[in-house]
């Protein structure tokens, strides 16, 4: 081989090596992430990185995500049917993952943290503007993140395809699983105007003409709130909410039973047990027009939260009860940025 051929071969090898490095470099920050292993349903063991994914068994309907902190497991329900389950790694000591009812605020396939030196967060789905999200990452088998919920890479990619802005995410400090119920509709069914407590009723649906709806019944405030796309469009004083302990979340399903009422997915959320909704429906008292207006907004995916926590703008909810999205006029801030926009409901 001539020296010219040798130089040409060396040049080709050099260029090929450089090209290969260019391909590998963007992935270097993700080294150590848990790729994940899909396992069959009902496994005898569910080890870090394992996940189950069968979206075909419920191909349409509202999606609800439940994260159990004690179990370090995430569940995915679509129209009340469990379509996925995955091991996760949540916040470690000193960086605890907050519990509560969240909605997905932002989605990005490729994302880098602006706090943690450009850390990769593939298939990021933001839950708060203060830096909490669910995304692909490393699963060592115990809580290890700075507050986010880490998932296997393969599962995070699959989950990303079935969620949308406004998808309900429940982060629970218990291991109870969801179930279906028709009872939440009872809270809006009775004409209780004659027993409604005094106070102003506000109804301004024009402030947010469209978007995901959350209805909140707060025993601490003695009030009901209606939010659409994170903007408060209605509130009214409500009586009969005493005796509620903890917070409980429901998500309306597309299923309607034979007698007419819509079915809901009920999910124990933060502390306490599920309220006796049949008894609560007998006690609850609110302005009839408000109940009618709220009932008209209930569609598949609507969230109903019954809580003993304060959620109004005067008392502020505590740091571990996160509920709502930002106003649609807010500019999306990069994940991990310390700056946080003014929220229509404080975290």
**Strands annotated E in the chain:** 37-38, 50-53, 63-68, 73-78, 81-87, 100-103, 106-108, 124-126, 133-136, 149-151, 168-172, 179-181, 202-203, 213-218, 223-228, 231-237, 247-256, 262-270, 303-307
- 193 and 249 share one domain: yes
Q: Encode pLDDT of 58-106 as tens digits.
A: 888 788 898 989 999 999 988 778 899 999 999 998 888 988 778 888 8
Whole-number pLDDT of residue 64? 85
**Weakest-pLDDT range from 8-12, 13-17, 79-83, 87-91:** 13-17
For the segment 320-340, the average pLDDT, to the nearest whole number, is 38
Q: Are 68 and 156 members of one domain?
A: yes
Residues 92 and 157 occupy one common structural domain:
yes
pLDDT score of 113 more than 50: yes
The residue-averaged pLDDT of 243-269 equals 74
Give the per-residue pLDDT at 106: 87
Residues 249 and 190 in one domain: yes
Shared-domain flag, residues 166 and 195: no
Evaluate whether 232 touches 291 at the Cβ level (below 8 Å): no
Assess if residue 208 is contained within a domain: yes
pLDDT at 216 over 60: yes
Cα distances (Å, whole numbers) of residue 78 to 216, 221, 245, 322: 22, 32, 28, 22
Residue 146 burial (C-beta neighbours within 10 Å; 0-12, 13-18, 19+): middle
- Tell which wins on pLDDT, 146 or 262: 146
Say if residue 297 is in the same domain as residue 187. Answer: yes
Find the mean pLDDT for residues 242-258: 78
Domain edge (last residue) among 172, 199, 234: 172
Q: Would residue 286 count as lying in a domain?
A: yes
Strands in 168-172's sheet, in edge-to-edge order, are 37-38, 50-53, 81-87, 73-78, 63-68, 168-172, 100-103
- Looking at the structure of the chain, the number of domains it has is 2
Q: Which pLDDT score is estimated for 86? A: 97
**Residue of 159, 127, 147, 120 lying closest to 33 (CA atoms):** 120
Residue at 4 is within a domain = no
More reliable by pLDDT, 211 or 306 = 306
264 part of a folded domain: yes
On whether residue 113 sits in a domain, the answer given is yes
- CATH code for the domain of 189: 2.40.440
Does the pTM exceed 0.75? Answer: no
What is the band of 117 on the pLDDT scale with cuts at 50, 70, 90?
Answer: low
12-16, 98-102, 202-206: which range is least confident on average? 12-16
Give the domain-ending residue among 307, 322, 339.
Answer: 307
> Mean pLDDT throughout 206-220?
86
Give every strand in the sheet of 124-126, ordered side by side.
Answer: 106-108, 124-126, 133-136, 149-151
Question: Residue range 291-318: average pLDDT?
Answer: 75
Higher pLDDT: 187 or 208? It is 208
Query: What integer is the mean pLDDT of 271-300?
Result: 82
Domain assignment of residue 128, yes or no? yes
CA distance 143 to 302: 31
Q: Do residue 185 and residue 167 come from a single domain?
A: no
* Banded model confidence at residue 179, pLDDT cuts 50, 70, 90: low
CATH number at residue 78: 2.40.440.10
Calculate the average pLDDT of the chain.
76
**151 and 45, same domain (yes or no):** yes
- For residue 129, give the nearest of 153, 163, 105, 111 by alpha carbon: 105
In this structure, the answer to whether residues 289 and 183 fall within a common structural domain is: yes
Domain ends where: 172, 201, 232?
A: 172
C-alpha distances in angstroms, 293 versus 73, 208, 264?
37, 14, 19
Question: In terms of domains, do 115 and 237 share one?
Answer: no
Domain that holds residue 102: 37-172
Same domain, 152 and 219: no
pLDDT at 247 over 60: yes
Does residue 8 form part of some domain?
no
Determine the average pLDDT of the residues in 126-141: 90
Going by pLDDT thresholds of 50, 70 and 90, the confidence category of residue 321 is low
Whether residue 23 lies inside any domain: the answer is no
* 100 burial via Cβ count (<10 Å: 0-12, 13-18, 19+): buried
Q: Are residues 196 and 167 both part of a single domain? A: no
Q: What is the pLDDT of residue 253?
A: 80
């Amino acid at each position: 081989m001539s020296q010219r051929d040798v130089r040409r071969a060396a040049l080709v090898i050099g260029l090929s090596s450089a090209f290969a490095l260019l391909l590998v470099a963007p992935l270097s920050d993700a080294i150590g992430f848990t790729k994940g292993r899909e396992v069959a349903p009902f496994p005898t063991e569910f080890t870090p990185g394992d996940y189950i994914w069968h979206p075909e068994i419920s191909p349409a309907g509202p999606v609800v995500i439940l994260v159990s902190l004690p179990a370090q497991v995430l569940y995915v329900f679509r129209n009340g049917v469990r379509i996925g389950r995955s091991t996760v790694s949540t916040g470690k000591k000193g960086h605890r993952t907050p519990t509560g009812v969240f909605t997905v605020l932002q989605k990005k396939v490729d994302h880098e943290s602006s706090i943690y030196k450009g850390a990769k967060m593939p298939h990021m789905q933001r839950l708060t503007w203060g830096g909490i999200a669910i995304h692909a990452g490393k699963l060592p088998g115990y809580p290890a993140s700075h507050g986010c919920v880490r998932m296997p890479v393969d599962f995070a990619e699959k989950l990303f395809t079935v969620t949308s802005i406004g998808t309900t995410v429940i982060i629970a400090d218990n291991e109870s699983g969801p179930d279906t119920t028709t009872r939440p509709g009872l809270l809006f069914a009775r004409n209780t105007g004659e027993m409604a407590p005094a106070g102003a009723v506000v109804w301004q649906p024009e402030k947010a003409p469209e978007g995901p709806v959350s209805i909140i019944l707060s025993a601490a405030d003695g009030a009901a709130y209606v939010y659409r796309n994170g903007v408060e469009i209605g509130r009214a004083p409500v009586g009969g909410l005493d005796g509620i302990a903890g917070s409980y979340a429901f998500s309306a399903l597309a299923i309607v039973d034979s007698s007419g009422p819509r079915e809901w997915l009920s999910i124990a959320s933060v502390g306490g047990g599920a309220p006796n909704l049949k008894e609560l429906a007998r006690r609850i008292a609110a302005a009839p027009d408000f109940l009618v207006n709220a009932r008209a907004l209930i569609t598949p995916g609507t969230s109903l939260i019954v809580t003993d926590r304060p959620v109004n703008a005067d008392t502020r909810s505590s740091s571990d009860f996160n509920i709502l999205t930002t106003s649609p006029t807010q500019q999306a801030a990069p994940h991990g940025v310390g700056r946080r926009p003014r929220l229509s409901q404080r975290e």
